[in-house]
Structure 1
């Protein structure tokens, strides 16, 4: 009697090339941190880079496409509830792990991770691979990013103040000046510069990624100079990895089985699962630099770890969803959704961790 074949592991795990660049930037900041006048220059450049990032986000967001997606309001409300309600509640519950499992510094970063918006590109790519509702994933990710510009700072003001996050009225003013105003300026100027930005999408992607690397270097340099890295041991980092693995497993289960209880079809459930269980590294890094200042290095570490973990787990999960589906794509968004998915999946491979 022949034994059944063992399950095959994926031939290639999605180790994000841009995440490797981020790790390299952290290593550079550890070896050659910006000090003295150089630190002031790096901080000023990072502030300008954050403002530029959110200006470009505003200029590229199509208001018409976002309004068209409102027709699927139940799905979008479900994703928003997972992102900005369920995630924060789990983050607050993790307060029980302090200080036995997580030190306060890492817990603050974990709680911040639970407040940032969802991803866009990777959610679309995994939804496409799993034969889900790609059109819904596009709109859900866009809504989450748009809402997060306002909701994430407000949530931070509510929950981080009591968790050592250092949030203050000054942080709120910085959020408005560095994030919200540039975003609104981009929206206002979109009618004149939107087409030009679309034509130079790849070049702007490099600007996005380069800006984030600059933000990471400035944040981690300040942390090295102040000696905050001596506060975290290797054992604590392993504990953080375990806590985040549980967090991801809980959210994947909640979005998949919860959406079934809410009566969504399979294609919609797939979109909800990938859009509602993931967090945006690109949105979180600039916000952390504004909210935490010199403490941003440790604050973004949980987000960086969670980002790579979600990519690897969701890639395997998307392949399982696709294998269990029928021969025809189960996309509720129609043919247009499939075409958008193919294009979006290509963008993910190019853009790395942009979202």
Structure 2
């Protein structure tokens, strides 16, 4: 209990520990031969189910209703799909001195994935920000990411020589990501109520698909010796780069929210939704976009950034909450 309480202070929950455990397990017992083939098919099925659930959980009216606050969503969108990619391209100067070619590929890919949904909303709520605005902004980011992330990979990573997405990869994107998402939208009238009443299957697919992808990625990394030349100092350097990247984005989003005259509740949305990157969306996409490449090395920056953003944003949310005026809460309690 003492350990759990200590870890909870740093927002390292059981799922994060499960990801670490699966990565260690795959490093010790990587899937090879027939096991690797079965794992590959299981991962594809899990990704298909994951994006089908994304489509089924999103009501089209939710996105349309939130579009009225276009200024807020535009700023979050710009931070996710303009600011981050520009910073990713700028970090090219660190290759190969601080970042190897494979690690820089992962850093640039990290900058192209959409924002998180659950943690963005949760932290906005803790910080007493505009929760409905966060819901719409985060959802729109994930919706757009299904289309924009592959497009940005093709545009930026093909031209820089860091990745190669050909016609077959585009077909894989359509079959594994877009098709189940559209299918989920079509099935929504039939299964949306059931999904709301039964959270366990959704949670199982959400988390199970990520754990499968992590195991597959790290297994492939061990079989391919993807980390053979990765020294401890390179890992330390990568962590430092991830911390610096998050610090810059947090500073820019904070300044932009204030400079553009948004109320504090909307500034909180911009900071938390605009500074995050989705592990749940980014890992499955990576297995499709970088098929046949060292996936384990490519997703490593995203996994490290994900943990850092949770720890830092948890602390920021608590700080915002302490600065918030407690009177509205007291008034509600009085009713």
Query: Pairwise mapping of residues 1-355 of structure 1 onto structure 2 (< 5 A)?
Result: 12-161=9-158, 162-294=160-292, 295-329=294-328
Compute the displacement of 1:120 (Å).
Answer: 1.0
- Note closer, same or farther for the CA distance 1:32–1:10 as it changes in structure 2 (3 Å cut): closer
- Note closer, same or farther for the CA distance 1:269–1:329 as it changes in structure 2 (3 Å cut): farther
Compute the displacement of 1:169 (Å).
Answer: 2.3
Compute the displacement of 1:65 (Å).
Answer: 1.2
Structure 1 unpaired stretches of 5+: 1-8, 336-355
Partner of 1:350: none
Deviations 1:113-147 (A, max 9, x none): 10010011111111111111111001111100001
Q: Greater shift after overlay, 279-288 or 197-206?
A: 197-206
Q: Greater shift after overlay, 165-174 or 43-52?
A: 165-174
Compute the displacement of 1:163 (Å).
Answer: 3.8
Compute the displacement of 1:202 (Å).
Answer: 2.5
Secondary structure at the aligned position of 1:71 is classed as coil
Compute the displacement of 1:207 (Å).
Answer: 2.0
Report the aligned-residue RMSD: 1.6
Compute the displacement of 1:11 (Å).
Answer: 8.0
Q: Greater shift after overlay, 68-77 or 286-295?
A: 286-295
Tell me the number of residue pairs that the alignment of Structure 1 and Structure 2 aligns. Answer: 323
Query: Given the two structures, how large is their TM-score scaled by the length of structure 2?
Result: 0.93
Q: C-alpha distance in 2, partners of 1:303/1:20?
A: 16
Secondary structure at the aligned position of 2:164 is classed as coil
Q: C-alpha distance in 2, partners of 1:16/1:92?
A: 32
Deviations 1:240-289 (A, max 9, x none): 11111110001101111111111111110001100000111100010011
Q: C-alpha distance in 2, partners of 1:84/1:215?
A: 24
Compute the displacement of 1:20 (Å).
Answer: 1.2
Compute the displacement of 1:40 (Å).
Answer: 0.9
Compute the displacement of 1:10 (Å).
Answer: 11
Compute the displacement of 1:84 (Å).
Answer: 0.4
- Note closer, same or farther for the CA distance 1:39–1:11 as it changes in structure 2 (3 Å cut): closer
Query: Given the two structures, how large is their TM-score scaled by the length of structure 1?
Result: 0.88
Q: C-alpha distance in 2, partners of 1:41/1:203?
A: 22
8 Å CA contact retained: 1:59, 1:190: yes
Compute the displacement of 1:17 (Å).
Answer: 1.9
Deviations 1:159-207 (A, max 9, x none): 1122422322222111111000110011011111111111112331012
Q: C-alpha distance in 1, partners of 2:13/2:277?
A: 15
Q: C-alpha distance in 1, partners of 2:164/2:52?
A: 26
Compute the displacement of 1:328 (Å).
Answer: 3.1
